[in-house]
Structure 1
Amino acid sequence: MTAKYPSVRRRLPAGLFTLSLALAIAADPAAASETADDTAAADDAAQVEGGSYGGEIIVTARRRSETAQDVPIAISVVDGEQIDNTGSFNVGRLTQLTPTLQFYSSNPRNTAVNIRGIGAPFGLTNDGIEQGVGIYVDDVYYSRVASSTFDFLDVAQIEVLRGPQGTLYGKNTTAGAINITTNQPTFDFEGKAEVSIGNLDFKQAKAAISGPLSEWLAARIAVSSTSRRGTIYNVTTDRYIQSQDNIGIRGQLLWRPADNLDITLAGDWNKQEAVCCGSVFVRTGETQRPLNRQFAALAAAQGYAFPSENPYDRLTDLDANLNAGNEIGGASLRVKWDLGPGMLTSVTAWRYWDWQPENDRDFTGLPIVTRSQNPSQQDQYTQELRYNYTGDRFDFVIGGFYYYQRIETQGTEGHGPASSRWTINPSNPLSNDPSVLGGLTAINTQYLKNTSAALFGQLSWKITDQLTIQPGVRVNYVKKDGYYRRLVFAGDGSPVTADLTDAVSAARLAVFTPQEYAPSFSDWNFSYDLTATWKAARDLLLYATYAKTFKSGGINQNGVPNGADGDPILAAATVKPESVDHYEAGVKAEFWDRRATFNLSAFRTDIKNFQANVNNGQFGVLRGYLANAGKVRTQGVEFDFSVRPSERFRAYANGAYTDAKYERFVDAPCPPELSGGSASAPNCDISGQRLPGVSKWAFSFGAEANAESSLFGQDGQFYLGYDGSYRSDWSSNPSPSAYTWIEGYSLSNFRAGFRTETGLDIFGWVRNAFDQNYLEQLSVGPGNTGLITGLPGDPRTWGGTIKASF
């Protein structure tokens, strides 16, 4: 669980909540939720304290308002105040607070959010499948994981539900859900503003204002802007990369024509224009290629060397244009109608996503791959209708959900004058002719239409005051239709087709192969779960859960392997659904007159037909495609502890042991050390090896002490806070490689300041206080040359923040 830092009580906004799932982002020990089943209930719950440091935390994980200690789900919660205090303004930052949440991003599109080691395949994003961690904001499903890279905007609370949530939240939550609720319009005038500055030219400003427009109409508007210089210096372009440049705005109108009816219209727009995304040299490793085709020999042949072989010098020399233009927005209409016996909720939403990237896919300063960009545009429409009833012995929720998505992508990849010598075998005379591959270009076109509909229901039967049985079911239908075409052109503009047999064309076809196919997939699936809860004492809850759920099947949208006849292997164009069996047991306890909280959960998740990412070693033959691994298993133990002996001191510690591995994957892509040679096996058996991105051990811990005092005539508190995290080593390649293990590391963050009861807060902060060198990700360079590049984590950063509210 988790918490809220200050001892000041927080008023929860009325009429927020319940919807189809939880959002993409996640957090630490946390805070109070809001949204009651009706406005009056929300007001009754408004005066609560909570957070990772203990206290009562109100959540809506089961579509109704209840304390987190009464919910038979492993759940972490973080409120907006803790986000601000810890500088955790996006999902990547929040992973330091929540041990079982993993976040990896080489750019906004290629981002993975996982819980307990599962959720999304590790590697290039494929539009043809679902994510395994559902992301929701104010009851609206965000299907693009790129949304998790944006700054949080006027957030009231984030709930992270660990484990499958398929009954209430759908086919895209086999690993869990992240539910974000924003602050809602109020009929009392209020506002807040926050400004932060720091090193690396960090600047951040946030503001929100809310109040009545009439007796029945209220409005709220919030804005946020973040900018920061990059952390890696590009010696070729004489500029820093990996910068931050985010802006967002959110507006809401609440119409309350009657006491039992709330209608909320909301719209948001968010844009990123970062100089991003690149990497630095980390190491090389021997592959199965001949020595004259490995990185050292190829680089020496062109007189090339990286600007530094120490990744923590943070130097690169990428020569292609870099851009990560990312725009997301939409609108929603939410109706909440209190019918007396229950609450009827309707959520109608439209969202769009526009992605404009430019990358350097050879990872070097040589003009090998000079263009690599796959801009995409998405439109998404959702409709959910839900009825929630709460009674003395029975609670239930029933509903339906409809989803339509269309994605269009236009890709361009082009090679430069250094490609012939780098890509073609040096024994081939064509390797000395820059015109063979110079200017070679692939034009990719693809689209996806994704339609799904579901009916769901969950019942809580209070057999006795102590024993509750909770069954749930969901029936889901999905249909996906796709199209993929790749056309190839030589540097002179002439088409390169598969029927050409001359030596020059053969060399070009070894890099880019034309391809066209139109995959289609449709399926029904039935998810269900059963939870038994035993309230052994007022402050002691025990629960056990079994869930059978699915992640829907999909289609490969990035190309598939060709067969011996040169045609696409259509059997690889579709991917089977994942079938998930999940077992979990837990205990939630409060003691020491509720000054301390301890929660413990143990889980095991078995997945058949796990959707794994498979990467081809060549530059452009195949960017990556999906295949089904035989079986994956993740199991472990998690704990959350918080203590608050007095209003002057509080502390928390959370930890997780996660054992996630491939139980059976006999035809996986081989790691680089076993790839590249003519005698290399086309596939490797990696059964029994660890899943990528998962640390066996992960912890977060922190404390805050305060003392009442006054400053400049203002009564308040001086405070000192600390938040630390640790994670053990993990693999950064889908097939574990000796070259891509990232060592474990620990990070420490401090803050100190003064806050008043009138809403003024002034504090200084330092993140990664001991300037720990660590890597966020390692990548295998193309072509099996043995090149390994990486992304260093942020160095020590420091600054100050001023917040005010009224």
Structure 2
Amino acid sequence: MNKFVKTALMAGAAWSALSTFAMAQDVAGPGDEATSVDEIVVTARRRDEALKDVPIAVSAISSERLDQTGASDITALQQQTPNATVQIARGSNSTLISFIRGVGQQDPLWGFEPGVGLYIDDVYVARPQGAVLDIFDVNRIEVLRGPQGTLYGRNTIGGAIKYVTKRLGNEPSFLGRGTIGSYDQRDFLMSASVPLSDTFAVGGAVAVYNRDGFGQNLTTGQEHYDKDVKAFRASAEWTPSDSFFLRLAYDRVEDDSSPRHGHREVNSTTGGFTPPADIYDTQAGLTGEQSVVTEGVALTAEYVLSDSLTFKSISAYRSGDTQTVIDFDQTPLPTLDVPAIYSDDQFTQELQLLFTGERWSGVAGLFYLDGTSSGVFDTIAGNLGVVIAAAGSVETESFSAFADFSFDLSDRLHASIGGRYTRDDKTGEVFRAFYLGATRSPLTGGTPRAILQTRTNYTASDTFEQFTPRASISYDFSDDLTGYASVGQGFKSGGWDMRGDAFLVPQTVNGYEPETVTTYEIGLKGSAFDRRLSFASAVFYSDFKDQQITTQQVATPPATGIASVVDNAGASTIYGFELEGTAYLTDSLTSTVSLGYLKNEFDEFITLVTGTPVDISNSRTPQNSPEWSAFWSLTHSSTVAGGDLRITPSVSYRSDFHLFDAPDPVLDQDGYALVDLAIIWRAPSGAYEFGVVGRNLTDEEYKVGGYNFAGATFNNSISAFYGPPRTVSASVTLRF
């Protein structure tokens, strides 16, 4: 634990610097907004609590703060949250990739489980397609760091992201916003709610996002990195008495943006193709439909049974369909072209009993999920003269029972204990075959023809069971300062590799087992200097075992093919610290800071690609784990023309990191900083608002994803996907 002690000292030094800075100021108290940790209410433990009292590392980002910093979608969390990666997946426009504290999921292929759970109003979203949520009609976003296996269950070993929408009020409301900006950005948002009686209200929101591409497909002439998204949300709320609440909500997202193929980073070995001069341009030749549709309906009921007992039910159904094309080789040649179709659906039911006593509180419940995830894709390998077709599905029936209780051992000493039992029953079907001809297979709508060789064809079933406990103890050093220590565990379910080639890798039919993370954490939260400084800090140490790691295997003649191998190949030690703080420097000046330090190291990395187990951990580095992440913003408020003017410059920083476990000088990303500026003026009545937002003002070029198929077999296909360039937008908002 020497590393853990060292990290604690570093965290203390960083916090000391921030608190000393705040103490030196002649400051005034905070304004009316709920920004201190004892004012912010979160539901991280499935019940309403002040952030200060929650023994979990939680970032709670309000809609006001999101507006102030010009955040447009959920990926803005990466800039403002320490030790978090929240990005658009490679080759996609709306698929989410999330890592927290170095734990997550880069590969969004169906059948693979995420490592960070996403929730929309407490409804679990099992698949990442269509999950890059645009920020509208939102109350706050909570980011729970560290394993959340007790209260949120399977697939939250890195943490959880909770998207919390606004409840309808008992007064009519309307918001309309129009935005224009760089690259012919044209966005429109409208939301409204209307109470139809004293107990019943309806509301809805619609958003349309359009933007030309940052680049162009030089082969087809299509826009590249453009945006064409429509989102819709509707809800109805019924509150017949103080003890009963019922909400029916529906949401739908349609993404018809152009295919995103990426940028070739090196010269090709065939055809003489060189990297395009503009990093947002591509020479990809694969054409086809790009369409993502996700939708869901949820029914939430709350019934207050007594002063100490509340019952809650959350019933939900979600589905998604994706058609996409990805040209891995980034040339007009059909060297490595992948058309793909994904489909998923899920039904979830959660029942909760919330308890409140004089010196204790807690929640106990049951959770059920019935879901199916399926897909088909081709790997058109022109150099080999074949197409490799892969198809399959995973059916999951999951049941869990959980409980978490907190006890006041004294006026200042508190303890909590909880646990969750989860049982996953899964059935996987995997099919993989070669067809002659470097064109689409019959599985994706290509010319009907006989199978050249069946590589994989099996059905398997398995049951994965896990108990994930959590315990914590906290102490109120004062009314404004709380410290805590906790230990918690989470797991990600096992399964089968949907790309598995049983001809090359026979053990793929055995699947892989769950992976687990156990995290030890100490934290300090609170406010100081008459609440002029609000902060939350945490130091953590994680033991990551049985990591599910994907390794690509390319076979050359006389053996032919490309396949992935998924094994429980790794184990890691992860430790670091996190610090978030808000200082009210004067009546008109507020500063927000976050800082994350992360050390993520493989202890073991066993590969079977060579045929014999070999530990190559000394040559591997965990992906998406920058050692340092930081954010700083300064908001200046003043009265101009009778209205409220807020100017917020901000800077975010990420140190160098690897996109893949195997370091690659072509795809590794150096450290970079993003500079943003938001200027918002609101009229005295609050009825209208004008805003100007500049993002990435220094036009930083930085990678967020990539593919690596080096060598002559696949035309030296190394490609990268980049974050947005400098953009400026202006908006007008009407409210009443």
Whether the TM-score (by the shorter chain) exceeds 0.5 is: yes
For the 8 Å contact 1:631–1:664, the answer to whether it is kept is yes
Cα deviation per residue 1:294-353 (whole Å; 9 max; x = unaligned)?
x4xx33xx4x22363x454x3321111155311100111111001122211001110001
Which of 728, 731, 741 pairs up with 2:668? 741
Q: 1:701 to 1:322 in 2, by over 3 A?
A: farther
Q: Within 2, Cα distance between the matches of 1:87 and 1:458?
A: 37
For the 8 Å contact 2:621–2:658, the answer to whether it is kept is yes
Shift of 1:473: 0.8
Q: Within 2, Cα distance between the matches of 1:464 and 1:54?
A: 22
For the 8 Å contact 2:704–2:723, the answer to whether it is kept is yes
Q: Within 2, Cα distance between the matches of 1:494 and 1:306?
A: 26
Once the two structures are superposed, the pairs formed by residues 363-762 of structure 1 within 5 Å of their partners are 363-369=330-336, 371-415=337-381, 419-420=382-383, 423=384, 437=385, 440-491=386-437, 514-562=455-503, 569-570=506-507, 573-617=510-554, 621-667=561-607, 685-687=616-618, 689-710=620-641, 715-759=642-686, 760-762=688-690
Confirm or deny that 1:221 pairs with 2:204.
yes
For the 8 Å contact 2:156–2:492, the answer to whether it is kept is yes
- Corresponding residue number in structure 1 for 2:134: 151
Which of 25, 40, 46 pairs up with 1:57? 40
Cα deviation per residue 1:95-127 (whole Å; 9 max; x = unaligned)?
12223210241134864211011022x3x3343
Q: 1:492 to 1:334 in 2, by over 3 A?
A: closer
Which of 265, 279, 286 pairs up with 1:320? 286
Shift of 1:48: 6.4
Once the two structures are superposed, the pairs formed by residues 200-279 of structure 1 within 5 Å of their partners are 200-279=183-262
Once the two structures are superposed, the pairs formed by residues 155-166 of structure 1 within 5 Å of their partners are 155-166=138-149
For the 8 Å contact 2:90–2:706, the answer to whether it is kept is no
Shift of 1:791: 1.6
Cα deviation per residue 1:424-463 (whole Å; 9 max; x = unaligned)?
xxxxxxxxxxxxx1xx334433121111000000110110
Which of 118, 130, 138 pairs up with 1:135? 118
Q: Within 2, Cα distance between the matches of 1:790 and 1:236?
A: 18
Confirm or deny that 1:305 pairs with 2:289.
no
CA RMSD of aligned residues (A): 2.6
For the 8 Å contact 1:520–1:555, the answer to whether it is kept is no
Q: 1:176 to 1:637 in 2, by over 3 A?
A: same
Which of 72, 88, 106 pairs up with 2:90? 106
Higher relative contact order (CA 8 A, sep 6+): 2
- Report the residue type matching 1:315 in the other structure: D
Q: Within 2, Cα distance between the matches of 1:81 and 1:208?
A: 16
Shift of 1:618: 5.6
For the 8 Å contact 1:662–1:688, the answer to whether it is kept is no
- Corresponding residue number in structure 2 for 1:119: 104
Shift of 1:570: 4.1
Q: Which runs of 5+ in 1 are unaligned?
A: 1-46, 285-294, 424-436, 497-507, 671-679
Q: Within 1, Cα distance between the matches of 2:646 and 2:232?
A: 31
Which of 329, 354, 371 pairs up with 2:295? 329
- Corresponding residue number in structure 2 for 1:354: 321
Cα deviation per residue 1:670-690 (whole Å; 9 max; x = unaligned)?
9xxxxxxxxx99966124742
- Report the residue type matching 2:437 in the other structure: G
For the 8 Å contact 1:406–1:449, the answer to whether it is kept is yes
Which of 58, 63, 68 pairs up with 1:85? 68
- Corresponding residue number in structure 2 for 1:799: 729
Shift of 1:171: 1.3
Q: 1:630 to 1:307 in 2, by over 3 A?
A: closer
- Report the residue type matching 1:118 in the other structure: V
- Report the residue type matching 2:428 in the other structure: G
User: Normalised by the size of structure 1, how large is the TM-score?
Assistant: 0.81
- Corresponding residue number in structure 2 for 1:287: none
Larger displacement relative to structure 2 (647-656 or 625-634): 625-634
Aligned length: 690
Q: Within 2, Cα distance between the matches of 1:590 and 1:355?
A: 47
For the 8 Å contact 1:749–1:766, the answer to whether it is kept is yes
Q: Within 2, Cα distance between the matches of 1:630 and 1:776?
A: 23
For the 8 Å contact 2:548–2:570, the answer to whether it is kept is no
For the 8 Å contact 1:519–1:556, the answer to whether it is kept is no
- Report the residue type matching 1:321 in the other structure: T
- Report the residue type matching 2:408 in the other structure: K
Cα deviation per residue 1:187-209 (whole Å; 9 max; x = unaligned)?
21111111111010111111110
Cα deviation per residue 1:160-215 (whole Å; 9 max; x = unaligned)?
01111111111111111111111122221111111111010111111110121123
> Where do 4+ consecutive residues of structure 1 move more than 6 Å?
492-496, 680-684
- Corresponding residue number in structure 2 for 1:764: 692
Q: Within 2, Cα distance between the matches of 1:271 and 1:494?
A: 26
For the 8 Å contact 1:572–1:627, the answer to whether it is kept is no
Q: 1:609 to 1:708 in 2, by over 3 A?
A: same
Q: Within 2, Cα distance between the matches of 1:793 and 1:265?
A: 36
Q: Within 1, Cα distance between the matches of 2:615 and 2:662?
A: 9
Which of 68, 72, 77 pairs up with 1:94? 77
Shift of 1:472: 0.4
For the 8 Å contact 1:269–1:330, the answer to whether it is kept is yes
Cα deviation per residue 1:473-506 (whole Å; 9 max; x = unaligned)?
101100110111123322399999xxxxxxxxxx
For the 8 Å contact 1:561–1:622, the answer to whether it is kept is no
- Report the residue type matching 2:91 in the other structure: N
Shift of 1:699: 0.4
Q: Which runs of 5+ in 2 are unaligned?
A: 1-30, 443-450
Cα deviation per residue 1:741-762 (whole Å; 9 max; x = unaligned)?
1111101001223212422220
For the 8 Å contact 1:253–1:264, the answer to whether it is kept is yes
Q: 1:90 to 1:767 in 2, by over 3 A?
A: same
